[in-house]
Chains A and B, each alone.
Chain A
Amino acid sequence: KAGVTQTPRYLIKTRGQQVTLSCSPISGHRSVSWYQQTPGQGLQFLFEYFSETQRNKGNFPGRFSGRQFSNSRSEMNVSTLELGDSALYLCASSYLAGDEQFFGPGTRLTVL
């Protein structure tokens, strides 16, 4: 079975721009979670989607949003980028929300 894939792997943006990151879960997995990883804050939960519905959201501003499609693929969007948004964004999938999560390689976002 193919693992979780994320595209693109690297992104460089400037302040004020917006960005869209994509995640394809493991086939058959319906839950997709997103995390932000930074040296200062560590791994922080952004949101979780299941059957195209956002069921949980972390403590991030409204500039961070996401969606899930009928094939379980998910995207997250960050608008009006700030320097502090520079991070590794990780996507994880699981069959059900409480199961073990399998992570993708991440998207490294650099905001200049």
Chain B
Amino acid sequence: AQSVTQLDSQVPVFEEAPVELRCNYSSSVSVYLFWYVQYPNQGLQLLLKYLSGSTLVESINGFEAEFNKSQTSFHLRKPSVHISDTAEYFCAVILTGGTSYGKLTFGQGTILTVHP
């Protein structure tokens, strides 16, 4: 079975500072990886995904994540955060080839709080 570990439950940071949210996964077979963001009282929004190809993936709002197969990690980074980035972030995996039949496995989430 696959599992996802988000190493920090809370990350406080000042506005315009860089941030890294850490995610490690465990799986005996290949997976696709995702980062989702959840704002208060809302559902999850897909931030970025790694399916194949370049190991560095970027989102339209400045976040990036790098897939590291040897370290089984998919850390999320942003060089300069804004107040509006305050939210909870979830790392998730799904088995490739559709064999998960729709089952995303999530980490426990990291609450990012950006202070002015």
Contact = CB atoms under 8 A, between A and B. Distances in A.
B44 A103 contact: yes
A32 B90 CA distance: 20
B49 interface: yes
Interface of A: 4, 6, 31-33, 35, 42-43, 45, 48-50, 55-56, 58, 90, 92, 94, 96-98, 100-106, 108
Interface of B: 32, 34, 36, 41-46, 49, 90, 92, 94-109
Contacts of A102: 46
A94 B104 CA distance: 12
A100 B49 contact: yes
11 contacts: A42-B107, A45-B104, A45-B105, A48-B101, A56-B101, A94-B102, A97-B100, A100-B32, A100-B34, A100-B49, A101-B104
B104 A33 contact: yes
Contacts, number: 71
A67 to B, nearest CB: 15
B77 to A, nearest CB: 20
Given A42-B108, A42-B109, A43-B90, A97 B42 contact: no
Most interface-central of B95, B100, B103 (chain A CB within 10 A): B103
Contacts of B100: 56, 97-98
10 nearest CB pairs, A to B: A48-B102, A98-B98, A56-B101, A103-B43, A33-B102, A43-B106, A55-B101, A103-B44, A97-B102, A105-B43
A98 B105 CA distance: 12
B31 to A, nearest CB: 10
Most interface-central of A33, A92, A98 (chain B CB within 10 A): A98
